[in-house]
Chains A and B, each alone.
Chain A
Amino acid sequence: MTPSYYLLLSALLFTIGAVGVLVRRNAIVVFMCVELMLNAVNLTLVTFARINGTLSGQVMAFFVMVVAAAEVVVGLAIIMSIFRTRRTASVDDANLLKY
């Protein structure tokens, strides 16, 4: 076994997250899938930090976490306000902007 396995794991998690975004309709679950993708990327960064022998990857993963936190806050606020007006959290119901 080599550290590459972590990368493979990360790839699989990223894919699962991507597919989740595509198939789930609850906006909050969609958000969670995005979080999963971000985590997969973090795993990649950590693994590369190990492979390269430098901490920059870990620092980058740290920044990713910060940005993810900010994103979650704003995203959940948006979901809340949409829910307040439309009484739904389904991404399919917000489809007014179309042909």
Chain B
Amino acid sequence: MSALLLAQDAAATVTTGEAIAFWILGPLALAGGLGMIFARNAVHSALFLVLTMLSLGVIYLVQQAPFLGFVQIIVYTGAIMMLFLFVLMLVGRDSSDSVVEVLRGQRLWAGVLGVGLAVLIVGAVARSLTDVRPVGLSGDEANGGRGNVANIGDKIFTDYLFPFELTSALLITAAIGAMVLGYVDRHQRGKKTQKETVEARFRGEHDRPSPLPGPGVFATSNSVATPALLPDGSVAPESLSRLIEATAAEKLDSEREAVAGALPGPDARALAPGKEDLP
């Protein structure tokens, strides 16, 4: 009887080593968290989060949860955080937040509510756990007997078998979902390859086998509104885009005619050049 009480007391108290570990790891975790939210650069945030997660992993180890501790370090810190960094690199590591907060009062209220939440939870925990005596994980059901990992395996494949199987379905679904979201079909809008287009042109599926002529290039202009000239000097009508305003095309009519030689040349007896001679 007294031995049991003693054992409970032992479990209730924390060894000096654990206390030292907590007082080192706890502030580290907090510092990581704060660093994460204050770092301007997203990569720095991710690295601060890695620090927090590593601290937490060690804390799990200290808290007699070696399996979770290693999973935390390997899966979380190793895999998930690396995934984060990977996406960050994809998105662009220089996409740091601007300093200006667009939502009025957002930071102030976030701070106020955060402090309020912390005070509430801390107060509640402090108040409700004053009389609680921790049992500790030395029993056979826990870390005694075959040890932590074996007991957890036991639990997962007996008591928690069905949830565990559900998580497998969840993971599969997540993987497929990620694939669906990430997949980009390059042929989805019926885009033909260059080869297919050429073959289609010669099969007569297009108006003409060759592409439309490009715009002309004059000394004064090289815009798309500039008509291309055929070898005989006349304007190639196909070179004028229909999308360009008709007025622009009409404006060029006289120019085009002048180029085509349709207009009469300057009169020899004229004292001043004709209007149409002006560019």
Chains A and B touch each other in the complex, with CB atoms below 8 Å apart: yes
B258 at the interface (CB under 8 A from A): no
| A62-B125 contact given A50-B63, A55-B137, CB 8 Å threshold | no
Q: Is the CB of A53 within 8 A of B139?
A: yes
Chain B: which residue is nearest A22 at the CB level?
A: B110
Q: Is the CB of B137 within 8 A of A29?
A: no
* Segment with Cβ contacts to A, from B34-42, B185-193, B206-214, B264-272: B34-42
B129 at the interface (CB under 8 A from A): yes
Residues of B within 8 A of A63 (CB): 160, 163-164, 167
Chain B: which residue is nearest A79 at the CB level?
A: B87
Q: Which of B59, B68, B114 contacts A15 (CB 8 A)?
A: B114
Q: Is the CB of B33 within 8 A of A65?
A: no
Q: Which of A26, A49, A74 contacts B97 (CB 8 A)?
A: A26
Determine how close the nearest CB of chain A comes to the CB of B105; give it in whole angstroms. 11
Question: Which residues of B (14-29) have their CB < 8 Å from a CB of A?
Answer: 14, 19, 22, 26, 29
Q: Is the CB of B135 within 8 A of A68?
A: no
Q: Which of B33, B136, B148 contacts A36 (CB 8 A)?
A: B33
Most chain A CB inside 10 Å of its own CB: which residue of B87, B170, B184? B87
Q: Which of A5, A11, A50 contacts B22 (CB 8 A)?
A: A5
Q: Is the CB of B178 within 8 A of A77?
A: yes
Chain B: which residue is nearest A15 at the CB level?
A: B118
In the bound complex, CA of A81 to CA of B67 (Å): 35
Determine how close the nearest CB of chain B comes to the CB of A18; give it in whole angstroms. 6
**What's the dominant secondary structure at chain B's contact region?**
helix
For chain A, the count of residues having a C-beta within 8 Å of the partner chain is: 71
One digit per residue, 1 when the CB lies within 8 angstroms of any chain A CB and 0 when it does not, for chain B 170-205 equals 110111011101101000000000000000000000
Chain B interface residues toward A at CB < 8 A: 11-14, 19, 22, 26, 29-30, 33-34, 36-37, 42, 45-46, 49, 52-53, 56, 59-60, 63-65, 67-68, 71-72, 75-76, 79-80, 83-84, 87-88, 90-91, 95-98, 101-103, 106-107, 109-111, 113-115, 117-118, 121-122, 125-126, 129, 132, 134-139, 141-142, 148, 151-152, 155-156, 159-160, 163-164, 167, 170-171, 173-175, 177-179, 181-182, 184
Chain A interface residues toward B at CB < 8 A: 1-9, 11-20, 22-26, 28-29, 31-33, 35-36, 39, 42-43, 46-47, 49-56, 58-59, 61-63, 65-74, 76-81, 83-84, 88-90, 92
Besides A1-B22, A28-B46, A53-B142, 13 more A-B contacts (Cβ < 8 Å) are A8-B125, A9-B26, A18-B113, A28-B88, A32-B45, A42-B56, A53-B137, A55-B152, A63-B167, A70-B167, A72-B80, A74-B174, A76-B178
